[in-house]
Structure 1
């Protein structure tokens, strides 16, 4: 009888555990990593398109999101594969910590425990990161976050970010290769410019009231 109970427990664990080969998350709010922006262009919010800060090889656009979400953004490449979605960011309508905990538990059930904690030690910013590698070598990360502070660097409330990291790396390599091919114009330095040491005019380098 004891052996029978042990076998049942093992079978239950095998049935409920998330397998290592579970499929990586690729889609959220009706948008899918690797998808062409053209296939969902009618849901893009009209307005200017901006390059991602410090990453000129990526562009970001706001998109229409379904009920349950507050806002969403799509990031796509503009070099190696123009228009291919490399990242999806969504903010949930519910900003509460309780909702975040519920999301975290459900994500654990579907995709297993996260691989890394990315938040701060004081838990003003909570962030958990999952990393996946698909059979074809493509890598995907998922970050669930909650923030209740007043720093603009973090999204307020609850947010989720899916990233096709291999696609972003591909776009970066393409951009760097193109930059190397561009002719470098000659630059004439004035007296005192381009030399190490103290700046000539600190006032120009400091913020003002």
Structure 2
């Protein structure tokens, strides 16, 4: 008797869970803001790209687990402007060894960027190369900050070249907006519940 009651209870609870699906007259949503899941991004010619750098990812690379290489796409397409690599050895002991090696090669760091809690250890060196480019080098160890990769990481980048690419990209975006007709801009600004609620 108890067993039958238990089985009936399970069947009834499953029925209640599925009831809203069975009587829903709507298909699952696939679109919002005029964008449709599964459609091609080139179907929307009025949108602007937001990234002024492109990135490639590398794995298992000469003592590094992974890395991200960022390169320019606007003023100097293809120029590498930032390199971020995560060391295979994530230990604090290895970080201390790396720090000694960095100091041996480049002298004392220019500044400390870590936190006071001992969670994020960040040392930064600043240089100017033979072409008058500012070069920044960061060595970091992260024990548990969720906003950063844990373990040991090195970042090497041209700050001015990144700023240059961002400015070039912003200028291009402004020019593209200026090319849009008043009618196109007016259509893009229009809104109603079809755009605001998933369809």
Normalised by the shorter chain, which TM-score bucket?
Answer: 0.5 to 0.7
2:94 to 93, 99, 104: 99
> Who is 2:81 aligned against?
86
Report what 2:128 is aligned to. 133
User: What is the deviation of 1:80?
Assistant: 0.9
Select the structure with the greater relative contact order (CA < 8 A; seq sep ≥ 6). 2
Instruction: Report the counterpart of residue 163 of structure 1 in structure 2.
Output: 157
Aligned residues: 139
Counterpart-to-counterpart distance in 2, 1:124 and 1:188 = 45
Q: State the SS of the aligned residue for 2:116.
A: coil
Moved beyond 6 Å, runs of 4+ = none
- 3-state SS in 1 of match to 2:148: coil
Q: Return the offset for 1:134.
A: 2.1
Q: What TM-score do the two structures reach when normalised by structure 1?
A: 0.60
For each residue in 1:176-205, what CA deviation from the matched residue of structure 2 results, as whole angstroms up to 9, or x when unmatched? Answer: 1112212252354669xxxxxxxxxxxx9x
Name the residue aligned to 1:116: 111
Q: In structure 2, do the counterparts of structure 1 residues 132 and 105 end up closer, same or farther at CA, with 3 Å as the change threshold?
A: same
Q: Which residue of 1 aligns with 2:69?
A: 74
TM norm structure 2:
0.63
Give, in whole Å, the separation in 2 of the partners of 1:131 and 1:57: 23
- 8 Å CA contact 2:119–2:143 kept in 1: the answer is yes
Q: Which sections of structure 1, spanning at least 5 residues, go unmatched?
A: 1-53, 192-203, 205-209
Change (3 A) 1:55 1:149: farther
Aligned to 1:56, the other structure's residue is in SS state coil
Q: What is the RMSD computed on CA atoms of the aligned residues?
A: 2.4
Mark the runs of 5 or more structure 2 residues left unpaired by the alignment. 1-48
Q: Does 1:177 align with 2:171?
A: yes
**Which structure has the larger Rg over C-alpha atoms?**
2
